[in-house]
Amino acid sequence: MAYGGVILSNSLSFYQKRIVMSSRVQEKNGGASIPHVLSVAGSDSGAGAGIQADLKTCAARGVYCSTVITAVTAQNTVGVQSVHAVPEDFVAQQLKSVLSDMQVDVVKSGMLPSVGVVKVLLQSLAEFSVRALVVDPVMVSTSGDVLAGPSILSTFRQPIAASAGYLCLISVIILLAKSKEELLPMADIVTPNIKEASALLGGIRLETVADMRTAAELLHALGPRNVLVKGGDLPGSLDAVDIFFNGEHFYELRSSRIKTHNTHGTGCTLASCIAAELAKGSPMLTAVRVAKRYVETALEYSKDILIGNGIQGPFDHLLKLKSGSHSFRRKDAFNPSDLFLYAVTDSGMNKKWGRSMVDAVAEAIQGGATIVQLREKDVETRDFLETAKSCLVVCRSHGVPLLINDRIDVALASDADGVHVGQSDMPATVARTLLGPEKIIGVSCKTVEQAQQAWIGGADYIGCGGVYSTNTKANNPTIGLDGLKTVCSASKLPVVTIGGINASNAGTVMEMGVPNLKGVAVVSALFDRENVLAETKKLHALLMEASSSSKMQ
């Protein structure tokens, strides 16, 4: 079964199924359905892992999360002190309550403390339709505590002693032939860490990336459609390497190893983020990539926070706790319509026409510029910072965002509204980590792949060009209107186009009605002119006309 309890045709892709299901629900309620993950997992009193991590992850990723609690654990940053398994019939009742009432897109399972609970879950999946099952075979927490013996395997040699729960030996687990009654064959993805993969495979040694590949292949043979073996615990590797195997191809997914003690709950978070992205309609590999980035970003963001006295702390799923300043920034910092007339400055041009940067920015804003980017290529850092601060005063007084080209440090030091980075500048994901969640990040993209990466990296918009040739930026390849259309159509982010745009062609570009294209970014058409105010007004009027005629088409 590709998606547990399938009632929709298997010929439909996951995304198509989601649309069909959503429209059904909308018809019924007359409202909009939202992506929904059901987490079937244990409660963590310290709230770093388990149900609590799943709830926070889904909230952070914009997905609704309902919960079925399988066990209540007494744990903190020191470890797991005790486990109280919820009676199986009560787990069954919770499952029924949620699944009989709500349209769940994806079920994510975590701690399943007994064979009976696995069976109850399997019965519910057979009875109620969901479209994907993510199995995090929780047996060993990141703190090293053994949380559940049988987990996803419906059979094992001896029942796990329940009193201390977490102290059961995983060596009692053996693999039996796969059968429809087991959880693994139902899973769209299973996400073991090294210890769990080893336990699932009867205790084999996993010490290298090559071993992880072998494990992924062996686990895949047990029935799940995809396997992610997480190598976070692999000794001697600078990167965190995970192996993703879909039955055909292996993917080595690397992320930087964040130096932090705050890693409690990373496994639950990764799995619930995969579930959340699947619920939104992402393909599996994309969901896994996004989830890895999310965990990496959250770890980096929370590496210094201090919660509890133990050796392994929780991290901040909402990326807000670390710095008070981020949490009090204005909400909805970025409005895609701000891209409408995007003024990119050039101090050389301003000098040529004998005006200061601040005056040029003020005129552009008065003429209708909706966002400003300070692009300084040959200026001392100190001067760049001063200019940024002065321009920020003007921009803030008009409610126009000010972005800094390339220089995250200048953006941070001046408290500008964000940055614009290119493919050879700081990656968006790192910029996001440094700038926090509220700042605006734009990324230059010439290809669909780059646009996808920008989205995964947490950018707010992409700049796409050069649509025409330009004298402003040397050796800038053009992608033309066709290239622009291709990138815009695939982009999950709003797009502003750039490169050789002026009053004679801006209308043509905007009238095409390209999906996601929100505006034009210009340098010389505004600043290599004597009268910035007049040129900006002219371009603004043209864009208004073009966008109203494109809407009428």
Q: What are the residue numbers of the active site?
A: 230, 263, 265-268
Among candidate residues 64, 8, 3, 61, the one with its CA nearest the CA of residue 35: 64
Which run of H or E residues covers position 44?
strand 36-44
Residue count at the site for ligand LCLJCK34 (CB under 6 A)? 17
Among 263, 405, 429, 502, binds ligand LCLJCK34 (CB under 6 A): 405
Binding-site member from 104, 117, 152, 521 for ligand LCLJCK34 (CB under 6 A): 521
In whole angstroms, what is the distance from residue 268 CA to residue 275 CA?
A: 10
Radius of gyration of the chain, Cα coordinates, nearest whole angstrom: 26
Find the shortest distance in angstroms from Cβ 433 to ligand LCLJCK34.
19
Nearer of residues 233 and 409 to Mg ion, judged by Cβ: 409
Please count the residues of this chain forming the interface with ligand 3NM, following the rule CB under 6 A. Answer: 17
Compute the distance between CA of residue 308 and CA of residue 389 in angstroms, rounded to an integer.
Answer: 39
Closer to ligand 3NM by CB, 263 or 370: give it: 370
CB of 457 to ligand LCLJCK34, least distance (A): 14
Say whether residue 470 binds ligand 3NM (CB under 6 A).
yes
Which segment (107-115, 169-177, 351-359, 421-429) binds ligand LCLJCK34 by CB under 6 A? 421-429
Could you say whether residue 310 binds Mg ion (CB under 5 A)?
no
Work out whether 138 is an interface residue with ligand 3NM (CB under 6 A): no
The partner in contact with residue 496, picked from ligand LCLJCK34, ligand 3NM, Mg ion, none with C-beta cut-offs of 5 to 8 angstroms by kind, is ligand LCLJCK34
Angle between helices 448-456 and 480-490 (to 10 degrees): 40
Structure tokens at 212: 């992880």
For Mg ion, what does the binding mask look like between residues 425 and 464, x meaning CB under 5 A? Answer: x---------------------------------------
Residue 204 phi, psi dihedral angles, 5° rounding = -65, 155
- CA distances (Å), 229 to each of 41, 267, 518, in order? 20, 11, 40
Q: Which is nearer to ligand 3NM, 123 or 476 (CB)?
A: 476
Alpha-carbon span 410 to 433, nearest angstrom: 15
Q: Which candidate, 193, 314, 231, 304, places its Cα nearest to that of 265?
A: 314
Single out the residue of 149, 500, 507, 519 in contact with ligand 3NM (rule: CB under 6 A): 500
User: Residue 28 — left, alpha, or beta (φ > 0 → left; ψ -120 to 50 → alpha)?
Assistant: alpha
Q: At closest approach, how far in Å is the CB of 176 from ligand 3NM? A: 57
CA–CA–CA angle 489, 490, 495 (5° rounding)? 70
Quote the CA–CA distance of 235 and 253 in Å, as a whole number. Answer: 16
Q: In whole angstroms, how close is the CB of 508 to ligand LCLJCK34 at the nearest point? A: 19
406 is a site residue for ligand LCLJCK34 (CB under 6 A) = yes
Structure tokens that stand for 377 in this block: 């290529």
Residue among 198 and 472 whose Cβ is closer to ligand 3NM: 472
The burial class, CB within 10 Å (0-12 / 13-18 / 19+), for 95 is buried
Q: DSSP secondary structure string, 411-427?
A: HHHHT-SEEEE-TTSS-
Q: At its nearest, how many Å lie between ligand 3NM and the CB of residue 133?
A: 42
Which residue has its beta carbon closest to ligand LCLJCK34?
A: 422
Are the CB atoms for 421 and 441 separated by under 8 Å?
yes
List the beta strands (DSSP E) in 291-423: 341-344, 371-374, 402-405, 418-421
**Region 404-463 residues binding ligand 3NM, contact defined as CB under 6 A:** 444, 463
Q: Which of residues 328-387 bind ligand 3NM (CB under 6 A)?
A: 344
| Binding-site partner at residue 94 among ligand LCLJCK34, Mg ion, ligand 3NM, none, CB < 5 to 8 Å by type | none
Q: Work out the end-to-end distance of the chain between its first and last CA atoms, rounded to an integer number of angstroms.
A: 45
DSSP state for residue 159 in the 8-state scheme: P
Binding segment (CB under 6 A) for ligand 3NM, from list 105-113, 211-219, 294-302, 499-507? 499-507
Cβ 253 to ligand 3NM shortest distance, Å: 28
- 466 touches, from Mg ion, ligand LCLJCK34, ligand 3NM, none (C-beta below 5 to 8 Å by class): ligand 3NM
Letters for 327-346 (x = contact with ligand LCLJCK34 by CB under 6 A, - = none) are ---------------x-x--
Nearer to ligand 3NM (CB atom), residue 275 or residue 525: 525
Burial 503-512 (b: 16+ CB within 10 A, else e): eebbbebbbb
Of 501, 509, 510, 543, the one binding ligand 3NM (CB under 6 A) is 501
Give the Cα separation of 288 and 286 in Å (integer). 5
Give least dist CB 46 to ligand 3NM, A: 47
Encode burial over 371-402: b for 16+ CB neighbours within 10 A, e otherwise: bbbbbbeebeeeebbebbeebbebbeeeebbb
State the residues that interact with ligand LCLJCK34 by CB under 6 A.
342, 344, 373, 375, 405-406, 420-422, 425, 442, 444, 463, 473, 496, 498, 521
State the residues that interact with Mg ion by CB under 5 A.
406, 422, 425
